Every structure is written in C-alpha cells, then in structure tokens.
Amino acid sequence: MTTNPAAPRDPAVPGGPPGPPDPEDVDVLFLAGQRPAEDGEWLLITEVDGLPGSAFSAWVLPPGGRHGRGGDVLVRLTPGTRTGDLVPDTIDVSAWAVISRRLVPVAAWPRQDLDGWPERIRPTVAFAMGILTELEDHDGADLGARDRVDLDAAVATATPGIPARLTFGTAAGPALGR
C-alpha cells in the first residue's frame, strides 16, 4: 500500500502532453511546524510505522484535482480556528481512507499544535493502513483501486464505516443469499 495510481502521470495518448509530475515522498515529521494553506492540504500516506520517530512519509497532493483511490489512507490538514491573539496557532488534522469509491473518515484531531500533530496521529494512521492491507491481502476485498475519488468534493458527503460487503470476505458472500 505504498503506491498510489491516482497521482502519477496520466496514461495520455502516446505522444500527447504528459500529466502532472510524479509526486515525491516527504517525511511527515518534516511538515510539523508548517501551517497548511487556507483551503487545506491532503497528504497521501505512502509509508508509516507505528513506532515514534520511525518511518512516516506521504505525498503532498497538489491543489486542484486532488484524488485518491481505493486502499489509500490520507491525512487532511486545515488551519485551526483562531480564538484570539493569545492562543497559539493550531491546525485541524483528520485521517481518511478511500474504500470502494467512498471517502471514509477515520479520526479527527481539532486544534492541534503545529509541532506535535505527526506523532499524535501516527498510531491511528498505521492502524488504518493495517486494516486496509488486511482487507485486501487476506480477505480479497476489492477496495476500488482503479476508481478515482475527488477528495475535495467527497469530504463534504463522507460518512463513517467500512461497507459491510467488504467485512464478510468472499467466502461468506454467496452464503448470505441462501
């Protein structure tokens, strides 16, 4: 689950113009202390280890046409609401998964300090990646890896929960109809 077919170059007609440049992995810990753009940032998690200080990398998806695909785990960063000059700058952080053409909220951490949010969210993001890997690898679930989801549009209608058909596995599916 460390690749994303949503972001690399478009499979354009041979000889046609290339799509957007391939993204580069960024250490999420490096993003600590930086304030996100006013309209927010989406990070496509490419690697995460649950242990503090270990691997935690992502692609920062460019604005305009930010998409995810089934099996992706994402983090959204938005500026926190200012309550006055004496309150330090904060950001709102949330974790998301794309499953079967749906954007699914995993967790949210409002008003996080700019420096500490990566380590605070690490265990949850690692857990989400582990669950999706388990569904794909061991239950044979089709998470919709070929289907693109417009993240900025889907965030407004996102609902929690893994679709029930994915949690039954392929062996139990036909037996339910008998």
CA dihedral over 127, 129, 131, 134, signed as positive or negative: negative
What's the average model confidence in pLDDT over 131-149? 84
Q: What is the pLDDT, as a whole number, of residue 174?
A: 42
Q: Give CA–CA dist 12/59, Å, rounded.
A: 22
Top-confidence residue, 162 or 47 = 47
Tens-place pLDDT, residues 21-66: 566 789 999 999 998 999 999 999 999 998 888 899 999 999 887 9
Q: What is the pLDDT, as a whole number, of residue 20?
A: 52
> CA distances (Å), 136 to each of 41, 49, 170, in order?
27, 19, 11
Question: Residue 166's closest CA among 110, 86, 100, 83?
Answer: 100
In this prediction the pTM is 0.78
| 141: exposed, middle or buried (Cβ count in 10 Å: 0-12, 13-18, 19+) | buried
Taking all residues of the chain, what is their mean pLDDT, rounded to a whole number?
80
Is a pLDDT exceeding 90 seen at residue 129?
Answer: yes
Is a pLDDT exceeding 80 seen at residue 164?
Answer: no
What's the average model confidence in pLDDT over 125-152? 87
Is a pLDDT exceeding 80 seen at residue 5?
Answer: no
Is a pLDDT exceeding 70 seen at residue 110?
Answer: yes
What's the average model confidence in pLDDT over 74-97? 85
